[in-house]
Amino acid sequence: MTDLFPATLGADVIRFLGVLGFLGYVGLYSCLSLRILHSDSILYFAGNIAAASLVLISLTQDFNLAAAMIQVFWIAMGIPAILLRLRRRRSDRIAAEAAERVRMAKLAAGARPDMLRVSRASPAAAEDRRTPAVSECLVLGDAWKLETGYGRAAKEAPYCRTGTAA
């Protein structure tokens, strides 16, 4: 019985996967440099995991310990990075829903819509660990309240005077 594919074809395919991984790295870095992708996006980390996996597969053909360790590092750091961003998306959605419930309750309590304003915290302020975990600053006339969005009681928020948490 004859083989349909020569033995070297498998090795060539595996090496080609490594080249695809390289192109993935270069493409991601180019998109990052040209601001097509943001370094905090899930797509960026997923692409790095995919590229590292392809290069790691190609290293089974021509093994290099240092290169393998780098690829394992990219995969090991990319997975928790994606999980953290997915968890942040969920908490942001919960905070936004809680802020909307507070806004609707204030409106139902008789607040005029022109007196009620809800301002989102800036992404930079949300990322800054020195800033309290602020999801919303609620403005009702002159009463400034901080709404965390996690079922905690609203507190006075003197630093929300501008309508933002930053």
17, two tokens: 């996967």
Domain ranges of the chain: 7-88, 96-160
What whole-number distance in Å separates Cα of residue 98 and Cα of residue 31? Answer: 35
Average pLDDT over residues 69-78: 97
Going by pLDDT thresholds of 50, 70 and 90, the confidence category of residue 99 is confident
Structure tokens at 60: 């089974």
Mean pLDDT of 121-148: 44
Q: How confident is the model at residue 117 (pLDDT cuts 50, 70, 90)?
A: low
Confidence (pLDDT) at 120: 47
Q: What 3-state class would DSSP assign to 146?
A: strand
User: Among 11-15, 16-20, 80-84, which is the least confidently predicted range?
Assistant: 11-15
5 has pLDDT over 70:
no
128 by DSSP, 3-state: which?
Answer: coil
